[in-house]
């Protein structure tokens, strides 16, 4: 967030939301560096396997977002993606009753559209990637670690 705020103050993008797709290169690079460093720390630090799987799932989602943003020129909602990833991983770890938290994902998606930062398609795709890649990535990474 510090990288994004600093860039916004310097005028590199319009605000801390980085609504212009081209301006997302530096924030994405900062995110992937941060997640990779986190993955390295939890792996080398002997953190529970669930933490390693969560960091790996986050990286998987971020890589997909970068590919979609720059390859397909489509601005995906990272807010929706992270919210959906969080809910699906909580449901995997603590049980399906936590899928009721999906209402929070709906609220996040609604707010992004209401603020006119994203279209409905952008938040739906973000949420779907969070559920599918986040959940699948978490399970796939966790299975061999356990």
Q: How far apart are CA 105 and CA 77, in angstroms?
A: 12
Measured N-to-C along each axis, helices 49-66 and 135-145 cross at an angle, to the nearest 10 degrees, of 140
- Secondary structure in 3-state letters for 33-76: HHHHHHHHHHHHCCCCHHHHHHHHHHHHHHHHHHHHHHHCCCCC
Find tokens 């860039």 and name the residue.
Answer: 7
- Report the predicted TM-score, pTM, of the whole model to 2 decimal places: 0.85
Task: Delimit the domains of the chain by residue range.
Answer: 2-145
pLDDT tens, 82-96?
Answer: 999 999 999 999 999
Per-residue pLDDT reduced to its tens digit, 13-51: 666 666 666 777 888 888 889 988 998 999 999 999 999
């Amino acid at each position: 967030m510090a990288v994004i705020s600093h860039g916004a103050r310097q005028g590199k993008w319009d605000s801390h939301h980085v609504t212009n797709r081209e301006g997302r290169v530096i924030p994405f690079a900062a995110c992937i560096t941060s997640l990779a460093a986190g993955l390295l720390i939890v792996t080398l630090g002997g953190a529970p396997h669930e933490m390693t799987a969560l960091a790996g799932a986050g990286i998987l989602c971020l890589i997909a977002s970068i590919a979609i943003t720059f390859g397909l020129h489509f601005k995906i909602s990272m807010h929706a993606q992270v919210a959906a990833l969080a809910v699906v991983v909580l449901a995997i770890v603590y049980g399906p009753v936590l899928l009721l938290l999906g209402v929070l994902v709906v609220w996040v998606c609604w707010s992004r559209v209401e603020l006119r930062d994203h279209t409905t398609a952008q938040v739906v795709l973000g949420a779907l990637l969070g559920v599918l890649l986040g959940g699948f990535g978490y399970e796939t990474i966790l299975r061999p670690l356990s």
